[in-house]
Structure 1
Amino acid sequence: MKRLVVLAALLGAAPVLADEGMWTYNNFPSAKVKEKYGFEPSQAWLDKVRLSSARIAGGCSASFVSPNGLVMTNHHCARGCIEQLSTADKDYIANGFYAQAATDELKCPAMEMNQLSEIIDVTAQLNAATQGLTGKQYNDTLKAEMSKLEKDCATSDQVRCDVVTLYQGGKYNLYKYRRFQDVRLVFAPEHAIAFFGGDPDNFEFPRYDLDVAFLRVYQDGKPAPTEHHFKWSKAGAKEGELTFISGHPGKTSRGLTVAELEYQRDVALPKHQQITAELRGVVTEFQKRGPEQKRISNNLLFGVENSLKSSKGRHEALLDKKFFAQKVAAEQELRQKVEANPELKKKYGAAWDEIAKAQEQLKNVRKELSFIENSQGFSSSLYAHARTLVRATAELPKENGQRLREYTEAGLPALRNQLFSTAPIYPELEILRLEFSLTKLREELGADHPFVKKVLGKESPRTLATRVVNGTQLRDPKVRQQLFEGGKKAVEASQDPMVRLAALVDPDARAIRKNYEENIEAVIRKNSELVAKAKFEVYGTNISPDATFSLRLSYGAVKGYMEDGKKVAPITTMAGAYERNTGEAPFALPGTWLEAQGKLKLTTPMNFVSTNDIIGGNSGSPVINKDAEIVGLVFDGNIQSLGGDFGFDESVNRAVSIHSDALLESLQKIYGARRVIEELRPSARPATVKANPAG
């Protein structure tokens, strides 16, 4: 892997440099954009862009691109839906999908789309509620108050509200969303072009991908009206042009303390890579069993490979001695400023040491926390459903503020959507995943660990996995719904082997979670809040907060970069895809592309890079110009951008996007997706979309 070069001036304390920043919509630096690019986004412009943006609740970004609920995102973001709708006879992953008529649009079994309608600063309320509190009392009060704010905000199942922690607790915002749980597939190309180049090209550039999918949100059985949506640019992205990316970056760690980064570098990331690499081998071997095994595990392998490469990139950034030394220096500088001021020292001086102590405690409980409470030892969709039933039916009778956070009133619509999903579950793959994770559980905790003995007894991981998967009835969503609606008594009375396994695990898992939340998480939360406030007092608030899978806006420009002493041009063309085609996966263009080659304008821009600051979760984000028009679609970052978890270097960090011209050229001349094109670029006679009652 190429060495990551990441400058550390941006390390959470210094003022923002270059195009760094994943900015919240209520603290966007419009003046800085004007200073550098000559355009100052107005509040009206920001509101339009916010309301035209969308989030896929499972972990991706998207955008509204027509008044009739049409949504654009990445193929890999919609991949779960596409795979769940596929069968051995209709493989939409391999062959693509296009709804020729509105009645052909297919409902995704378990997808939720969110539109951010309002941002409310609730920092004062939460600070008042937790004033003077520490430890368990602080953590319990904070979570209860968050749950109350979310419940009061979510007035119906069509509304979702999340309290978002910013600056490690320095600020809190309440995000109010319009929720759509009827989401239908409209168009998806073949996997071969959506992931052209496969894992070898992942996080690389030049690229030649058409990683796109179009969905539609419905409301009351009809396409949802979306007044706010992005229009299509006539010109597309040009080199040097100012670009904005509105999306939902998942998580960055730029504001973490050195002790927290050391934990990631020395413990969490190496262990993640080891286990993920082993799982990749297991799934790769599973795919050799036959075409159906390959089909049902393709999505899993895609996720595993992506996760492995991403974590390697992040780990490499932390292993860079110069980079890490700069992180240390930045923290020392802040601490020295705090120590030099008696008032600041009294309020914040001990925070870093308290976090460091908590990290040491975390090392001691990491294995049990990961494999028992966080279910790394029980990797199975069926087990996840069983655990949800066991926990939900125990939590729901409690007062909302006393529940585990994932079972509060605000989260119930999403929980039901997942639990009652009709997505297919494949026993053979379930056994494979559960056997592997149980094997790792035994390896990590040891064969003599009381919990391992309790779970496995005299059974091997394979025997236990086979017994509970083959014996459970939880593959049927109706059974899951009956147990959920039957409440605690029904679940406790159930003899379903998967439910009984989840019930067996739950007391140990709860005890581990309780210890972690009260003795580790509470300390980290409280003291991270103090570190953030110290930064505010010393440096001000002219920095963007770490990513939290909440809507952010970044700015930058279409621009190439230098790599290994060579200039990387910012834009590729469709001709390059044909030049790269070998006829063998992962560099094999699909038949539709080979047949259409003579029709295409091969000089059409295909993919491009820009200096926008992004991270995982930004996949599916729209790239727009100053007129709030679509000029591209984010689908990746380059290899250097992986270090963006910890810092940003404008000279090499790049977002990788599909050019808007390539999207139209392929939709029209390769796929004949007339309905989609008419919505993206309506003529004088706008396309109308009728409902598909069957979904």
Structure 2
Amino acid sequence: MKRLFLIATLVGAAPALADEGMWTYNNFPSAKVKEKYGFEPSQEWLDKARLSSARLAGGCSASFVSANGLVMTNHHCARGCIEQLSGAKKDYIANGFYAKTEAEETQCPAMEINQLEQITDVTETLNKATAGLSGKPYSDTLKAKMSELEQACSAGDAKVRCDVVTLYQGGKYNLYKYRRFQDVRLVMAPEHAIAFFGGDPDNFEFPRWDLDVTFLRVYQDGKPAKTENFFKWSEKSAKEGDLTFVSGHPGRTSRGLTIAELEYQRDVAMPKMLFMMSEVRGMVTEFQKRGPEQKRISNNLLFGVENGLKATKGRLEALQDKKFFGQKVAAEQELRKKVDANPEMKKKYGAAWDEIAKAQGQLVNVRKDLAFVEQGNGLSSSLYSIAKTLVRASEELPKENGQRLREFNQANVPALTAGLLSPAPIYPELEIMRLSFGLTKMREELGSNHPFVKKVLGKESPEKLAARLVKGSKLCVLKDVKGSKVCDVAVRKGLLDGGKAAIAASKDPMIQLALALDADGRAVRKNYEENIDAVIKKNAELVAKAKFEAYGTNQYPDATFSLRLSYGSVKGYLEDGKKVEPVTQMAGTFEHATGEEPFALPPSWLKSEKLLDGATAMNLVTSNDIIGGNSGSPMINKDAEIVGLVFDGNIQSLGGEYGFDESVNRTVAVHSDAIIESLKKIYGATRVLEELRPGSTKIPSVPTKPAG
């Protein structure tokens, strides 16, 4: 792969240089931006950008782009909703969707959008509560105090979400207060063929020619929400050398992990993950050959697996690069020498690395039970996941908030309820296939004599058990509504409202299985949280404090799916000795097309080729530091105006999990000009255009009829 590189800086070894860093909004290095680019974001600028940014709670970024609740994100971030609203007779994934009127905007079955309203540093409060504690007391106290802070913050308001965010591996804690939107409706989405043009072969590559965009709208009290803060559209095209900012929610980086933790990822976790995902890809690919409907209902699963497979492979190759890993080792050794040279620091922090290493050793021993007994890798079924959540909810929700499992705390209840009662379709044939595969892998990994395997399978084969469970469950009764399949969730609602008594009385085979296995999962989880996770968290906190003492606090924390701001510029790079230009043009889209998947353009594009200005910028790359989770992030200029929409990174950026190299790491975005050109001349999306650019130039007299 074209991706092995030298890392310019390593988090924890020194303050970040160049364009490195996914910075929190309450610790953004505005002075550094001014030093390099001549522009210093003010507090007012930062507040406006923060409030104009949005998060899809399911794992992507977004932005508000009008005063009437219009939200922009990636097509691949919204494809779950698009697929759930589709049916065999109206496939919005294949044909696209456009609501010509407000009445046609259709609610996503299970989507939540968050807007970060406030950040509060609660480090001192949590440190005081956990002072002198370790193991189970530390874990229990930390969890209870976090839940207490979150509950006090939301004050019972379902429209407010509050999360305590762990930063610097526990060196700091911030309380993030969000405005929560749970009525989210689909407004416009192009066809999958152009949103993911080039498919898996072009994924994480550049040059690119994708229109990976979707527009949603948040509603409140049945009406479009009024959003005072939103990003306006830039009238000027972003060009090479222009300063760019990306405001989004990077999911996870591991730049601050210890060597022992990285070795576990390199030698144990990721190789197993790659094997598993490769097998899942083969399984889904074979399933798709059964027919067009099987292909339609499994496309989203295949997309996720292929994306994860390529990303994981890139991360593994980064850790397997001896020169790169040697830099990580040297950085840790340098810090440990500083700690050992100072008697006071050595007393406080000296043992932390060894304690984490011991915990990683224990994790190797329990990882299979953790994965298959508690995390449900063998019971890979949407129906079983719902059943398990219902069973646990009946136990957890009656408890005091601080005593619950973290995912059931009061701050999460609105999202939990929305997910459980979502009418999103669950297809039996796909469920049986997934569950059969998962049960087979469970037996293979744990062994046929493992007590849990015997308890789950009994005398049945994985295939027979999967079929019996899925066919016998009433947790989703599919029915047709206006040409689309939806779940009747009446049984789920009764179980959620009825609590323990309803769960105990249920004859649903999925509920019965989840109830029978609950104690097994809880025991494995308890051991992990108290004897492994608590040790890692406590000692990671000590490592972070050692870094602060040694190098100061002018560092950015690892990504945690919380809002971050990065800065960079439109910039090409060298690959194999050749310069990769930073901007592609729309004409290149047609030149790249072959007529065969995944390089086949949709009919709407082929019909509109002569209407388009081929010189219009299509995609661009910048030196912004991003990672997975940044998909859907707005790319803005110094005037806080939209100049692009982030949808990917280049192949070299996959090593960004562990470090950053400005010379090759690149963010890939849809150029703002391409979005306007396609909305105007291909889709005739007048309503969206008028919101993005009030008074936009008129639509061509004979626009292509929009799909949907």
Confirm whether residue 675 of structure 1 aligns to residue 666 of structure 2.
no
Confirm whether residue 24 of structure 1 aligns to residue 59 of structure 2.
no
Instruction: State the match for 1:345 in structure 2.
Output: 346
**In structure 1, C-alpha distance between the alignment counterparts of 2:663 and 2:3, rounded to whole Å:** 14
Answer whether contact 2:584 2:619 (CA < 8 A) is retained.
yes
Residue of 535, 545, 548 corresponding to 1:533? 545
For structure 2, which runs of at least 5 residues remain unmatched after alignment?
477-487, 698-708
Query: Counterparts of 1:54-453 in structure 2 under 5 Å?
Result: 54-155=54-155, 156-453=157-454
Instruction: State the match for 1:690 in structure 2.
Output: none
Instruction: State the match for 1:689 in structure 2.
Output: none
Answer whether contact 2:689 2:696 (CA < 8 A) is retained.
no
Instruction: State the match for 1:693 in structure 2.
Output: none
**In structure 2, C-alpha distance between the alignment counterparts of 1:455 and 1:381, rounded to whole Å:** 17
**In structure 1, C-alpha distance between the alignment counterparts of 2:327 and 2:300, rounded to whole Å:** 38
Instruction: State the match for 2:45 in structure 1.
Output: 45
Structure 1 residues 504-513 or 47-56, which shifts more?
Answer: 504-513
SS of residue paired to 2:219:
strand
Instruction: State the match for 2:2 in structure 1.
Output: 2
After superposition, the C-alpha distances for 1:497-551 in whole angstroms (9 at most, x for unaligned) are 0001111221110000000000000000000000000000000011100000000
Answer whether contact 2:6 2:323 (CA < 8 A) is retained.
no
SS of residue paired to 2:26:
coil
Q: 2:115 corresponds to which letter in structure 1?
A: Q
- The alpha-carbon deviation at position 17 of structure 1 amounts to 1.2
Instruction: State the match for 2:483 in structure 1.
Output: none
Answer whether contact 1:8 1:323 (CA < 8 A) is retained.
no
Q: 1:364 corresponds to which letter in structure 2?
A: N
**In structure 1, C-alpha distance between the alignment counterparts of 2:11 and 2:234, rounded to whole Å:** 36
- The alpha-carbon deviation at position 480 of structure 1 amounts to 0.3
After superposition, the C-alpha distances for 1:325-344 in whole angstroms (9 at most, x for unaligned) are 00000000000000000000
Answer whether contact 2:690 2:696 (CA < 8 A) is retained.
no
Instruction: State the match for 1:504 in structure 2.
Output: 516
Confirm whether residue 591 of structure 1 aligns to residue 603 of structure 2.
yes
For structure 1, which runs of at least 5 residues remain unmatched after alignment?
686-695
Instruction: State the match for 2:644 in structure 1.
Output: 632
**In structure 2, C-alpha distance between the alignment counterparts of 1:614 and 1:175, rounded to whole Å:** 21
**In structure 2, C-alpha distance between the alignment counterparts of 1:274 and 1:6, rounded to whole Å:** 28
After superposition, the C-alpha distances for 1:282-328 in whole angstroms (9 at most, x for unaligned) are 00000000000000000000000000000000000000000000000
Q: 2:558 corresponds to which letter in structure 1?
A: D
Q: 2:556 corresponds to which letter in structure 1?
A: S
TM-score, L = length of structure 1:
0.98
Q: 2:429 corresponds to which letter in structure 1?
A: E
Instruction: State the match for 1:578 in structure 2.
Output: 590
Q: 2:656 corresponds to which letter in structure 1?
A: G
Aligned residues: 686
- The alpha-carbon deviation at position 2 of structure 1 amounts to 2.3
- The alpha-carbon deviation at position 12 of structure 1 amounts to 2.5
**In structure 1, C-alpha distance between the alignment counterparts of 2:342 and 2:12, rounded to whole Å:** 20
**In structure 1, C-alpha distance between the alignment counterparts of 2:587 and 2:442, rounded to whole Å:** 49
Confirm whether residue 478 of structure 1 aligns to residue 490 of structure 2.
yes
SS of residue paired to 1:542:
coil
Residue of 507, 528, 533 corresponding to 1:521? 533
Answer whether contact 2:586 2:614 (CA < 8 A) is retained.
yes
Instruction: State the match for 1:610 in structure 2.
Output: 622
SS of residue paired to 2:522:
helix
Instruction: State the match for 2:701 in structure 1.
Output: none
Instruction: State the match for 2:481 in structure 1.
Output: none
- The alpha-carbon deviation at position 4 of structure 1 amounts to 2.4
- The alpha-carbon deviation at position 8 of structure 1 amounts to 5.4
Instruction: State the match for 2:654 in structure 1.
Output: 642
Answer whether contact 2:10 2:331 (CA < 8 A) is retained.
no
Structure 1 residues 583-592 or 371-380, which shifts more?
Answer: 371-380
**In structure 1, C-alpha distance between the alignment counterparts of 2:263 and 2:237, rounded to whole Å:** 43
After superposition, the C-alpha distances for 1:77-131 in whole angstroms (9 at most, x for unaligned) are 0000000000000000000000011100000000000000000000010000001
**In structure 2, C-alpha distance between the alignment counterparts of 1:8 and 1:463, rounded to whole Å:** 54
- The alpha-carbon deviation at position 684 of structure 1 amounts to 9.6
Instruction: State the match for 1:688 in structure 2.
Output: none
**In structure 1, C-alpha distance between the alignment counterparts of 2:12 and 2:438, rounded to whole Å:** 37
**In structure 2, C-alpha distance between the alignment counterparts of 1:341 and 1:278, rounded to whole Å:** 51
SS of residue paired to 1:110:
coil
Answer whether contact 2:11 2:555 (CA < 8 A) is retained.
no
Answer whether contact 1:11 1:327 (CA < 8 A) is retained.
no
Residue of 475, 481, 487 corresponding to 2:499? 487
Q: 2:139 corresponds to which letter in structure 1?
A: N
Confirm whether residue 457 of structure 1 aligns to residue 469 of structure 2.
no
SS of residue paired to 1:165:
strand
Answer whether contact 1:8 1:327 (CA < 8 A) is retained.
no
Answer whether contact 1:232 1:630 (CA < 8 A) is retained.
yes
What is the RMSD computed on CA atoms of the aligned residues? 1.0
**In structure 2, C-alpha distance between the alignment counterparts of 1:415 and 1:247, rounded to whole Å:** 23
After superposition, the C-alpha distances for 1:115-163 in whole angstroms (9 at most, x for unaligned) are 0000000001000000111111001000000000011111200000000
**In structure 2, C-alpha distance between the alignment counterparts of 1:304 and 1:152, rounded to whole Å:** 39
Q: 1:111 corresponds to which letter in structure 2?
A: M
- The alpha-carbon deviation at position 5 of structure 1 amounts to 1.4
**In structure 1, C-alpha distance between the alignment counterparts of 2:128 and 2:637, rounded to whole Å:** 41
Answer whether contact 1:64 1:230 (CA < 8 A) is retained.
yes
Answer whether contact 1:6 1:643 (CA < 8 A) is retained.
no
- The alpha-carbon deviation at position 608 of structure 1 amounts to 0.3
SS of residue paired to 1:175:
strand
Instruction: State the match for 1:554 in structure 2.
Output: 566
